[in-house]
Amino acid sequence: MDSISMVIASFVTIFAIMDPFASLPLFLAFTRRCNEKELRSVATKAVLIAGCLAFIFTLVGPLLLSALSITLSDFKIAGGIVLVLLGLENSINLHLSSNGKGREGLDSAAVLIGTPLLTGPGLMTSLVILDKEYSTLPVFAALLGALLVSWVILMNAGRVRKVLGDRVIMVTSKVIGLFLIAMGIAFIRSGLVG
Q: What is the pLDDT of residues 122-145, one digit of tens each?
A: 788 788 878 888 989 999 999 999
pTM value is 0.72
Q: Name the residue range of residue 135's domain.
A: 3-70+99-164
- Has residue 122 been placed in a domain? yes
Side chain identity at residue 71, one-letter code: T
- Has residue 63 been placed in a domain? yes
Handedness of CA 149, 179, 36, 103 (dihedral sign): negative
- Has residue 193 been placed in a domain? no
CA separation, residue 108 to residues 23, 99, 103 (Å): 15, 7, 9
- Has residue 79 been placed in a domain? no
Number of domains in the chain: 1
State residue 183's pLDDT score.
75
- Has residue 86 been placed in a domain? no
- Has residue 175 been placed in a domain? no
Residue 177: pLDDT band with limits 50, 70, 90: confident
CA separation, residue 150 to residues 119, 133, 157, 168, 169 (Å): 11, 24, 11, 23, 20
- Has residue 144 been placed in a domain? yes
The yes-or-no verdict on residue 6 having pLDDT over 90 is: yes
The yes-or-no verdict on residue 23 having pLDDT over 70 is: yes
